[in-house]
Structures are given as structure tokens and as C-alpha cells.
């Protein structure tokens, strides 16, 4: 049962890794835009390499990925502690053995 928990958390981390790669590609992909002319209303403004519309979505996705990684890492850590506890109950450490 604990192996299923670890496997599920590991699979979830793999999915988040794919999301992270997709966001990284979106951020790194060159976007061709016409440089705004001075005083042209409605022209997109760029900060670094990120267009303003996509930047917020990408940052939110990165935050979601980070939280999912942390949650799944905690699940795996808890499962490992549970396995260690069960193993100690079955065969406790014996200093005299």
C-alpha cells in the first residue's frame, strides 16, 4: 500500500516536471513583436523577454508546480518514515544481538 502512495506521488512529480518544462519553453521561446512606437496606445509593452499577458500565467503556473513538488515530496517523506517505523516494529534494533 505504501508503495502505491510513493508511486502516485512520484507520478504526480513527473507530471509537474512536464508542466515546468512547458512553462520554461514558453518563457524562453523567442517572441517576435514589433517594437512599440512612442505614444502608440494599445501597443504591448515587454518586460525582459516576457509579454505582460503571459507573464502572470507563467508565474502562477511556476508557483503551482513548486507547491505540488513540495506536497508530493512530503507525501514520499511521510511514507518512508512509515516504512521505517514498520520495519523497526518487525525487527527492532538489538544492541546485544
Residue 63: inside a domain, yes or no? Answer: yes
Looking at residue 2, its pLDDT comes to: 81
Residue 75: inside a domain, yes or no? Answer: yes
Residue 36: inside a domain, yes or no? Answer: no
In degrees to the nearest 10, what's the CA dihedral of 38, 41, 44, 45? 50
Looking at residue 35, its pLDDT comes to: 47
pLDDT confidence tier of residue 97, bands split at 50, 70 and 90: low
Question: Domain range for residue 17?
Answer: 2-28+48-90
CA atoms of 65 and 38, how far apart (whole Å) = 38
Cell numbers for 2: 505504501
- When divided into structural domains, the chain yields a total of 1
Residue 33: inside a domain, yes or no? Answer: no
Mean pLDDT of the chain: 78
pLDDT, tens only, 64-89: 999 999 999 999 999 999 999 999 88
Amino acid at each position: 500500500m505504501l508503495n502505491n502512495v510513493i508511486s502516485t506521488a512520484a507520478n504526480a512529480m513527473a507530471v509537474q516536471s512536464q508542466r515546468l518544462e512547458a512553462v520554461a519553453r514558453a518563457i524562453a521561446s523567442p517572441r517576435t513583436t514589433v517594437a512599440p512606437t512612442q505614444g502608440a496606445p494599445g501597443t504591448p509593452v515587454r518586460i525582459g523577454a516576457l509579454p505582460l499577458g503571459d507573464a502572470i500565467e507563467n508565474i502562477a503556473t511556476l508557483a503551482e508546480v513548486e507547491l505540488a513538488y513540495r506536497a508530493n515530496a512530503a507525501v514520499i517523506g511521510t511514507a518512508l518514515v512509515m516504512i521505517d517505523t514498520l520495519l523497526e516494529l518487525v525487527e527492532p534494533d538489538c544492541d546485544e544481538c
